[in-house]
Amino acid sequence: MRACLPIVLFAATALLAGCDQKPKEENHVSIAGKEGNVTISGNGQHMTMKADNGKTVVEVNSNGIGNAKMPDFAPLYPGAKVEATVTASENGGGTVSFKTTAQPADIIAFYKQKTGAAGLAEKLNMSSEGNLTFMAAAADGKKTVQVIAAKADTGSQVQVYWQGAK
């Protein structure tokens, strides 16, 4: 699948460039590669890339409405505007990128509460110039969460990574 990355990126760019202002229409592109196939579909506001093995799905949103399927131990922050999600069913992991009007400290406090309630212990809590990073994990290491909340002009830009949601 790594050999397909340049092709996938080119196709994704071409697909998005070819999308006009009609968000209800969808365009589909399939790319055959040595190690598998990738299907890309989109409508100018949302793009989905799926590997034919069903193990990886990438979604990119330009409309602030996402399909972030996050685990209970790391739910989506209330009021978040999802920009991109990546999920991998193989290990029950994924990542979501979103914007919010909340401040980084409020976001980290939310995830500390949610991960603590799920039995995950804090492993890292770091601050650098107002940008915050938090990590928590289950005692057996099977569930982990990492949250990076960076200051933005009107709130925060956030990435949440998780593993073990199976």
Pairs from 27-33 (Cβ < 8 Å, separation ≥ 24): 31/4, 31/7, 33/1, 33/3, 33/4, 33/7
CB atoms within 10 A of CB 89: 14
pLDDT of residue 13: 44
pLDDT of residue 61: 66
CB atoms within 10 A of CB 21: 7
| Closest by CA position to 4, among listed 44, 28, 45, 39 | 39
> Which parts of the chain register pLDDT below 50?
1-23
pTM over 0.75: no
Q: Which two structure tokens, joined as six digits, stand for 131?
A: 């940008």
How far is 56 from 129, CA to CA, in rounded Å?
34
- Hey, is 106 helix, strand or coil? helix
How far is 141 from 52, CA to CA, in rounded Å?
29
pLDDT of residue 102: 97
Q: Name, in order, each residue with C-beta under 8 angstroms of 100's C-beta and a sequence gap of 6 or more.
A: 77, 79, 80, 81, 107, 155, 156, 158
How far is 118 from 124, CA to CA, in rounded Å?
17
pLDDT of residue 12: 44
pLDDT of residue 10: 40
Q: In degrees rounded to 5, what are phi and psi of residue 72?
A: -60, -35
Q: Name, in order, each residue with C-beta under 8 angstroms of 112's C-beta and a sequence gap of 6 or more.
A: 122, 134, 136
